[in-house]
Amino acid sequence: MKTSVILGALFGAILPDLSLYVMAGVALFVLNISPHRVFNELYFSESWQTVFAIDNSFVVWFALLTLAIWTKRSWAVALCGAALLHLLFDLPLHHDDGRPHFWPFTDWVFESPFSYWDVRHGAHWIAPIEAGLATLACIALWIKRSPIWLGCACLVLLGMELWVVRQWLFFFTDST
């Protein structure tokens, strides 16, 4: 498989959440804003939600996928397809912190009974499953003898995933 397609898929899988990690990272580690304020106020602010609406929109990603197919850019098809797959898995795993996935047509947000991070809504079993699937995907890339750079990138991303799961389950959740 072409490197550009692999990179497209890798970046597409990350892009819908990249804004969250950048904005939260800057707020937490550069501006020294407390996690409570970042995740209880800023996360739900109009400005942050506007960014999330755009980068988590099925409408936007489907339009981009259509353009990628029309222009026959295989790397862009992989990028948009991976982003849409991310959104499909994301949609059922946000309880009260979901995104308006059908922006700009509507600001409606699906409130799932499940959460990938909140133990009050199943994260105690969802987060380990998610981490396990990420680990299996990383192992599959190694077994397939993917390029070393891809395996290393996968290991870095897996480490980040496991660190974030640890944060969700032990620091940002009220287990009562």
CB neighbourhood size of 110 (10 A): 13
Of the chain, the end-to-end C-alpha distance in Å amounts to: 48
pLDDT in tens, the chain (176 residues): 688 888 898 899 999 999 999 999 999 999 999 988 998 899 999 999 999 999 999 999 999 999 999 999 999 999 999 999 999 999 999 998 999 999 999 999 999 999 888 888 988 888 888 888 888 988 887 777 777 888 788 888 888 878 776 665 665 555 44
Output the six-digit token pair for 76: 């862009």
H helix or E strand, kind and range, residue 59: helix 58-70
The pLDDT, as a whole number, for residue 174 is 54
* CA nearest to 173, candidates 133, 113, 115: 115
Q: What is the pTM of this model?
A: 0.85
Calculate the dihedral angle through the C-alpha atoms of 46, 51, 53, 56, rounding to the nearest 10 degrees. -150
The pLDDT, as a whole number, for residue 60 is 98
The pLDDT, as a whole number, for residue 68 is 98
